[in-house]
Structure 1
């Protein structure tokens, strides 16, 4: 007996969007769904399935390919503000009065923009491995990051460099996560080079939201690995200090991919935060 395709489709102002939902359905009392916003070039298949499973044990989890990404049609929005507006449109078209939001990396940038531009859509905010923008001081990304992240295709060595520090434990957990991600059946297409370039242009044009952080009304959980070579943990610290209702968690032997490395603890922290 064939299993139903978990991918669903939704028409938006920017084209047809692919999305899926995980979770226990009606077995628990209703609670806001948790909307996941993905990293640069990432698709809905690039979330570690073990992480999604941990999140979905007690709640609905919704992930999607934004316009021009993965299975979705249309073109990548020209701005981060446009990406946030499309996420808000998705929430509306799914008939959800409000969601909790977890954004990772670029998704964390979009999540902050979404919470500020559409505050009624977001109950609680989780920002993983990201930045509010406008943080010129402090540690800077590793000099190799731009070269590695913009390659036409990334191999295991690239992802380990970008997401995990060079310790035996972190590398072992990173490899295990990559195997889980790549081993999923029915994976959709990778993000095209043209769409990746459009994302980069939107990121480069983004002015940041640091000056708006005092207006962030939602409780926020900010987290990162202490050894993030892409978006240094200092930027998470700044966000946590300047947003009025924020808590910071840093994982010591972890980097940008800490959420797939420390699944059990981070899922526990998320459960407690959203409870």
Structure 2
């Protein structure tokens, strides 16, 4: 068992594909490690310690910044296929033969690409607050949320991840307090990363014939987790993921949004642990 936790795990670096990836590892060094893939404009510091440390009690947790993101070198690609390939290069550079993969929001798009391209490298997948290629974003409120003004600025993430109900907002404030405890923090992402991730999202959601067909090729057991009212990626797309993937199950948490696992961290850790250990 590593003596480190989310708050004090040292940032390490490893080279792959000409990229110097920043990462942190902590938790119980037994079984299959789980690799986390972050949301739009997020860094390693944007994860919830209640989730990462909760899962780290039974397995090793690996957080990393993909190419060009924050403390990793290189250029952020403008498509999720390349992001997935870079993530695979990072995982293989660590010498890992098999991993579980978790992705939230656009990290869920990357996780799908890792599964598609990585084959047997990926054992199981957890997809949180995410969707599929060609998804209809008409009902998404993301443009209004991300273009808003917030004081303090970090309260943006209350609108991104939580519902405007008293209970959800209270959970959101507790999440922010947990998230901001670490002192030696990653730098925020660059304008290049913001632009590239935005372009990648545009490509991902563009409707195409047979947009859902690729999901049949993701054979790994998958846990899809969502909030009852996701303002960023409408909740209905998680139902589509579960329906179209060969081996997927779906959990929808009540009175919650995009960051449902941050509203119910202990419950999510229980559900995720049951799924990963099965």
1:119-138 mapped onto 2 (5 Å cutoff): 119-136=119-136
Q: Is 1:6 paired with 2:10?
A: yes
* Residue of structure 2 equivalent to 1:47: 47
Secondary structure class of the residue paired with 2:140 = coil
Q: Name the TM-score, length of structure 2 as normaliser.
A: 0.90
* Residue of structure 1 equivalent to 2:143: 146
Separation in structure 2 between the aligned mates of residue 136 and residue 49 of structure 1, nearest angstrom: 32
Secondary structure class of the residue paired with 1:21 = strand
1:63-102 mapped onto 2 (5 Å cutoff): 63-102=63-102
Identify unmatched segments of 5+ residues in structure 2: none
Q: Name the TM-score, length of structure 1 as normaliser.
A: 0.91
Q: Give the direction of change, closer, same or farther, for the CA distance of 1:151–1:87 in structure 2 (3 Å limit).
A: farther
Identify unmatched segments of 5+ residues in structure 1: none
* Residue of structure 1 equivalent to 2:37: 37
* Residue of structure 2 equivalent to 1:155: 153
* Residue of structure 1 equivalent to 2:267: 265
Separation in structure 1 between the aligned mates of residue 253 and residue 110 of structure 2, nearest angstrom: 23
Q: CA RMSD in A?
A: 2.0
Q: Give the direction of change, closer, same or farther, for the CA distance of 1:41–1:249 in structure 2 (3 Å limit).
A: same
* Residue of structure 2 equivalent to 1:211: 213
Q: Across the two proteins, how many residue pairs are aligned to each other?
A: 266
* Contact 1:14 1:67 (C-alpha < 8 Å) held by counterparts: no
Secondary structure class of the residue paired with 1:118 = helix
> Cα deviation per residue 1:146-191 (whole Å; 9 max; x = unaligned)?
1432579882432111110111111011001011112211111001
Separation in structure 1 between the aligned mates of residue 265 and residue 171 of structure 2, nearest angstrom: 10
